Amino acid sequence: MTDFAVKYAAKLAGVGLCAEGEPFFVVQDAELAFSHAGDQRQGVAVAAIQGLGAAALLIARPIGACQMTVLALAEEALASGAGFVVPGDCETRTFLHDLPVVRGLDAPGLIEALSRRKGCIVVADGQALLAAAGSVSPEQAFVTASSMAFACFVAYFAKHLRDLRAGTMTEARRAVFAAIRAQLDQDMARLPGEMPELLPGPFADEDQARAAMVQAGRFVVEYGLVDSSFGNVSCRQMAPSGELLLISQTGSSLDELGGCIDPCRFDGASCVGLTASSELTAHRAIYDGGPALAILHGHPRFAVILSMDCERLDCPGLGECHRACATPRGFTTDAGLDIPIVPGEVGTGPFGLCNTLPPALNQGQGRPGAIVYGHGLFATGAVDFRAAFATLLDVERFSREEYFRRVAALDAGAGPPRRK
Amino acid sequence: MPGQLHGQCHGWTGRILLVDLSTGRHETRDLPEDVRAAFLGGRGLGGYFLRDFATLPCDHPDLPLTIASGPLTGTDAPASSFCHITTRSPLTGTVGDASAGGRLGAELKRAGFDALVVTGRAARPCGIEISDDEVRLTDAAMLSGLPTHDVFTRLRQRLPHGSLAATGPAAESGSLFATLLVDLYHQAGRCGVGRVFGLKNLKYLAVRGRGAVRVADPAGLARAREDILRLVNASPALMGQQGFTNFGTGSLFDLMDARRMMPTDNFARTHFPPAGELNAHAYHTRYHPLKRGCEGCPVDCKRLSADGRPLPECDAMSHFTALIGNDMIELAMRANDFCACLGLDPVSAGVALACHRELTGEALDPERVLELLLGMGKGEGPAARLGRELGQGAARYAGAHGRPELAMCVKGLELPACDPRGAYGLALAYAVATHGGSNLRANPLSHEVLRKPVATDRFSFSGKARSVKLAEDAAAAADSLTVCAHLLLATGMEEYARAFAAVTGQTATAGDLLACGARIEYQERLMNAQNGFSAVADDLPARFFAEPGSGSPDIPVPPVPRQEFLAARAAYYRIRGLTPDGLPTREMAARLGLPWPDGSPAQAAGEGEGA
Ligand code: SF4
Ligand SMILES: [Zn+2]
């Protein structure tokens, strides 16, 4: 367990969420162990993990724009008396429900919050900390912490635009927003921008297809287009045993896909894909109804934020947008990509995205990508992952620019520029 | 009365029904608030009623047999219509319990009872019929010896409404792994709870309740329900294209073989080459099954063939093929149906057959399999004598033939269809489970194979001791609330605590429910200790530490490393607050609010035989 604690502490720093050496894990089976020695939060963390009886506990301080967005929402939750932040994106909401906010870093507060929820936000000394516990592995706490950071980022920017539209923005919040934006520009500088070299298709065999999936998954994470524990990737490949839908496993790390790809038979004669991504049904329907041979699914942050921006403040469907929006929505990027936005929840329920996403992607000759409201982008390729990756990059770049264009337009008191 | 809200409290009715079969009398008692708070319901309550009688032999009239619902039973909380049956196991001598789907629990609750506690022994086979406040004992002698579906058909003619539960011939003929069938195709399958019904001469239960369960905060329950359903819908194992909702628990079959953990030839091997032709897809192609499920469950994991036979669950699919060397799907289907008709646990039956096959070298052709099952379940037919012997369980059979090492059991309970060499958390969970070899106490397959909540290394003991302890606590809470164990593959106490709080009006966190689970587990440890169970019994058959499984080039399956297993078990004992010998301590019992049992000498479990 200690090696996992060290690994996931390093991973939080590696993706730029925390400073190197800062995230602190305590793990226990029968004995306690730590991701690093000498952390001044050790006393609190030990008391908390013992009080909870948990297997792992993480305390981590996000940096950069993440720190600022988490802190802004957490302080607002404390000031309003709500005591928790509700994620804006629907995938995080599915798994985390809400994020309790605790004032001050002490064991009783952590125990209280973490015996209710998988993770919480701690506001202490003017900084926001993320705390999370796990019952089987430090990875759980890692997944929860990175999900909380993503959720707050998306919720903050989405709320800012919504409040601008509603006319409830204050000058103080505008100032905070400007600071966060400046910080974000700095943060973004660490991400690569140029299209990476991806293995070209068509793939000769299953092994080549798997190698291409592993590579694409790694780049999607490296380019900041998804947190490692979310997203999925698949391709359609002929094999001696028949046609296969190769897909990343549920809960796999997209940047560590080796050994985590399930071969699902197109003829359905085996359930060996029981561990496949929860979006297997959607992927299958996309392949069945259109020309795609490869699918990449990421959670690019501004594409998600933009999908939640709607001008219809008096819509009768408000509150159900994420799963039942009946208005045809979407945008066209500068590069001419036509991207619809559809509602849909994770998986296969009556509101599942498996019902909405495939028809949107398969309309006409097939579309390059579609955004699921408040969730993420699914991009397709007719040969390999190159086109899909380019779509992810282009849509996210466009979405970020478009987001700030809309903010600027609303700030200027005019309506937002109408694109499509 | 129809529509009546029961009792003053929310969630629970606050009443239990005691029936003494010896005198034929029954009475209603209050269920005290502190007992509800400490033990919730279901399995917790069953243990609470058992603990003062835990050392009685199974044929003692004072031994209680408890059928308990939980605070969530009969509400809109998803998959919560279960009840839990608790007594002492005649098969193992440990606490013996099984959860039952269908709607027995929900009807009992709506009739106004949190639990039915049966003691005594009727002079003749009898039934208990409950219709709201009305309780009566009936003569059931004419149902004796009938296959279960005939019992259900006859009872249904007279009792068109409500839930029915009945035993089959196995419970009467003395099989120690007899089951109770609930609503025709839900088995309360393990530990031989059906045999205790037989020993009490209780043939069936018929329960109809037309009241309603009081819910403190219906809007809060609706929110909790939505959170739970969203997670269920996001679960590949439950609702995915290849999940339980589409293929039943048989979904797991292919994965067990692919991961090289399909018990084959009495657990001598872990891969069965014909498995691909015997999987859930093959059943669906051949039997065009109808989808069935428990009341209020979104998954509907049960399957009935077009001709009305239940499709085997994953364990039975596997044990009636790979474990006994059979590659005929129709034989597995028939063997499973035989078990349902006879009221036999297919898991124990399969392991007993495999044990006999290995011990004698006898090949089991289809006719022989069915003969032996008939012998086990009814003590009749060409294999009556051998069948009766096997019906005492693999451990007694192998022991009597001088080959105890060939019984693939823990504490005398036969192992289900997942090989512990392929998942070390599972190996530990099997060993320490309070009712013996079962994965129902903690389900490490959830993370070791199904990757939830995250994937763990299945060939490592690192972190497994605590994860088993925590999963046991969660399962004990779920069995007591009552919630179907399958739902824990997608949700947890975090979500069900919200449902519990909304139903009962009491604030509760996941941590609070897990603490109840820990108390319930420890209470079972206390009872087992009274009956002489210690670390020696918390162990796996030697085969798993000595022989490798059937690995493949990329999945080597070595024997379970013995020293690491012992270290993990020692860690588990420390985390659970047990002595190095696996025994409870006074301090821990006191900390959990459990009384220290009187030093009454342990007695053997069943019908004069040793535990
Ligand atoms: S998952 Fe299956 S056993 Fe569980 S409640 Fe649903 S139908 Fe019943
Ligand atoms: Zn996603």
**What domains can be seen in chain A, in order of their start residue?**
2-188 (3.40.225.10), 206-408 (3.40.225.10)
For chain A, how many residues are written?
420
Position A420 scores a pLDDT of 39
Residue B272 shares a structural domain with residue B383:
yes
Distance (Å, rounded) from C-alpha B151 to C-alpha A337?
66
Q: Give one word for B437, left, alpha or beta, with left for phi > 0 and alpha for psi -120 to 50.
A: beta
- What are the φ/ψ torsions at residue B403 (nearest 5 degrees)? -130, 60
Instruction: Give me B336's structure tokens.
Output: 């499973």
Question: Do β-strands B290-292 and B202-208 pair in parallel, antiparallel, or remain unpaired?
Answer: unpaired
Mean pLDDT over residues B222-250, rounded?
A: 96
% of chain B with per-residue pLDDT over 90: 95
3-state secondary structure of B285: helix
pTM assigned to the model: 0.96
- Tell me if B301 CB under 6 Å of ligand 1: yes
Q: Which residues contact B323 (CB under 8 A, 6 or more apart)?
A: B263, B264, B265, B266, B267, B350, B351, B353, B354, B417
Q: Is B302 in the pocket of ligand 1 (CB under 6 A)?
A: yes
> Is the domain of B441 the same as that of B404?
no
Mean per-residue pLDDT, B61-71: 98
pLDDT at residue B275 greater than cutoff 80: yes
Span B156-175, average pLDDT: 97
Contact A324, A317 (CB under 8 A): yes
Closest residue by CA, ligand 1 atom 8: B294
Residues A55 and A49: their CA atoms lie apart, in Å, by: 8
Give the pLDDT score at B607.
Answer: 53
Which token pair is A103? 């004032």
The pLDDT of B68-81, averaged and rounded, is 96
Give me the residue from B240, B463, B511 closest to A348, CB to CB. B240
User: What is the rounded radius of gyration, in angstroms, for the C-alpha atoms of chain A?
Assistant: 21
Report the SS3 class of residue B583. coil
Residue B396 pLDDT > 50, yes or no?
A: yes
CB contact under 8 Å between A273 and B242, yes or no, is yes
Cβ pair B193, B181 in contact under 8 A: no
**Domains: count for chain B:** 3
- The answer to whether A277 touches A283, Cβ cutoff 8 Å, is yes
420 residues of chain A, pLDDT tens digit each: 889 999 999 999 999 999 999 999 999 999 999 999 999 999 999 999 999 999 999 999 999 999 999 999 999 999 999 999 999 888 888 999 999 999 999 999 999 999 999 999 999 999 999 999 999 999 999 999 999 999 999 999 999 999 999 999 999 999 999 999 999 999 999 889 889 999 999 999 999 999 999 999 999 999 999 987 899 999 999 999 899 999 999 999 999 999 999 999 999 999 999 999 999 999 999 999 999 999 999 999 999 999 999 988 888 888 888 998 888 899 999 999 999 999 999 988 889 999 999 999 999 888 999 999 999 999 999 999 999 999 999 999 999 999 999 999 999 985 444 443
Whether residue B407 is found in the same domain as residue B456 = no
> Which residues have their alpha-adjacent CB atom under 5 A from ion ligand 2?
A 376
- My answer on whether B263 and B382 are in the same domain is yes
Same domain flag for B365 and B438: no
Q: What pLDDT, on a 0 to 100 scale, did the predictor assign at position B511?
A: 96
Pairwise CB contact (< 8 Å): B240 & A280: yes
Residue B293, in any domain of the structure? yes
Tell me if B222 is assigned to some domain.
Answer: no
Contact of B370 with B334, CB cutoff 8 Å? yes
Q: Whose CA is nearest to atom 2 of ligand 1?
A: B301
| Domain limit, last residue, from B387, B415, B443 | B415
| Same domain? B144 vs B275 | no
β-pairing, A99-103 with A119-124? parallel
Q: Residue B243: its chain A contacts at CB < 8 A?
A: 274
B496 within 8 A of B41, measured Cβ to Cβ: no
Same structural domain for residues B457 and B584? yes
Positions of E strands within B401-533: 409-410, 413-414
Q: Which amino acid is at B6?
A: H
> Is B308 within a domain?
yes
Dihedral pair phi/psi, residue A273, rounded to 5° = -90, 20
Pick the residue from chain A with its C-alpha nearest to B259: A272
CATH of the domain at B281: 1.10.569.10
Nearest to B4 by CA among B77, B76, B105, B74: B74
Is-contact A395 A337, C-beta < 8 A? yes
- How many CA atoms lie less than 13 Å away from A153 in the CB half-sphere? 25
- B480 occurs within a structural domain: yes
Rg (CA), chain B: 22
For residues A144 and A148, give the distance between their C-alpha atoms in angstroms, rounded to a whole number: 6
Residue of B nearest to A114 (CA): B511
Give the Cα separation of B23 and B122 in Å (integer). 8
The reply to whether B219 falls in a domain is no
Rounded CA separation B337/B342 (Å): 8
Q: Is residue B549 domain-resident?
A: yes
Q: Can you tell me the distance from the alpha carbon of A106 to that of A120, in angstroms, rounded to the nearest whole number?
A: 13
Residue the block writes with tokens 């270290």: B567
Residue partners of A35: CB distance under 8 A and separation at least 6: A2, A5, A6, A8, A9, A23, A24, A25, A26, A27, A138
B45-66: b or e for each residue (b if 16 or more CB lie within 10 Å)? bbbbbbbebbbbbbbeeebbbb
What is the reported pLDDT for B609?
Answer: 36
Judge: A1–B462 Cβ closer than 8 Å, yes or no: yes
Nearest to A101 by CA among A88, A89, A90, A112: A112
Question: What ligand is nearest to the CA atom of residue B243?
Answer: 1
A276 touches chain B (CB under 8 A): yes
B351 and B434 housed in the same domain = no
Q: Which of A385, A353, A382 is nearest to A367 (CA)?
A: A382
If DSSP states are collapsed to H, E and C, what string results for A255-320?
CCCCCCEEEEECCCCCCHHHHECCCHHHHHHHHHHCCCCEEEEECCHHHHHHHCCCCCCCCCCCCC
Say yes or no: B311 and B450 in one domain.
no
- Tell me, what DSSP letter sits at residue B609? B
Q: Which of B360, B387, B415 is the last residue of a domain?
A: B415
Q: How confident is the model at residue B297 (pLDDT cuts 50, 70, 90)?
A: very high
pLDDT score, position B189: 84
Within this chain, do residues B348 and B306 fall inside the same structural domain, yes or no?
A: yes
**How many CA atoms are closer than 13 Å to the CA of B468, on its beta-carbon side?**
32
| Cα A371 to averaged position of ligand 1 atoms, centre (Å) | 34
Q: What is the CATH number of the domain that holds B541?
A: 1.10.599.10
Percent of chain A surpassing pLDDT 90: 87
Picking from B397, B415, B433, the residue at the C-terminal end of a domain is B415
Which domain range does residue B458 map to?
A: 421-591
- Specify the ligand 1 atom closest to the Cα of B102: 8
B343 found inside a domain = yes
Is the Cβ–Cβ distance between A342 and A195 less than 8 Å?
Answer: no
Contact B6, B124 (CB under 8 A): no
Look at residue B504 and tell me whether its pLDDT is greater than 50.
yes
- Please give the distance of CA B367 from its chain centroid, rounded to a whole number: 29
Q: ipTM of this predicted complex?
A: 0.95
> Which has the closest alpha carbon to B97: B571, B370, B569, B433?
B433
Q: Is A370 on the interface with B (CB under 8 A)?
A: no
Residue A317: its pLDDT value, please? 86
Chain A residue whose CA is closest to B299: A349
Give me B541's structure tokens: 């058959």
Four-point Cα dihedral B287, B102, B224, A371, nearest 10: 0
A94 chain-B contacts, CB cut-off 8 A: 230-231, 234
Task: Note the helical H segments in B259-345.
Answer: 280-287, 314-319, 329-342
| B611: confidence class by pLDDT, cuts 50, 70, 90 | very low
**B437, part of any domain:** yes
Q: Order of strands across the sheet with B25-30? A: B25-30, B15-20, B115-119, B65-68, B83-88, B95-100
B577 and B453 in a common domain: yes
| Residue in B235, B255, B463 nearest the CB of A136 | B463
| Residue numbers of A between 23 and 42 with CB closer than 8 Å to B | 27-30
Contact B401, B379 (CB under 8 A): no
Q: How many whole angstroms from A386 Cα to the centroid of ligand 2?
A: 20
pLDDT confidence bin for B2, thresholds 50/70/90: low
Q: Whose CA is nearest to atom 5 of ligand 1?
A: B79
Q: Which residues of B228-266 are buried (b: 16+ CB within 10 A; e: fewer)?
A: bbbbbbbbbbbbbbbbbbbbbbbbbbbbbbbbbbbbbbb
Residue B600 has what pLDDT? Answer: 47
Question: Could you tell me if B171 and B70 are in contact, meaning their C-beta atoms sit under 8 angstroms apart?
Answer: no
**Closest chain B residue to the Cα of A135, Cα to Cα:** B467
| Interface touch B230/A345, C-beta < 8 Å | yes
| B178 shares a domain with B87 | yes
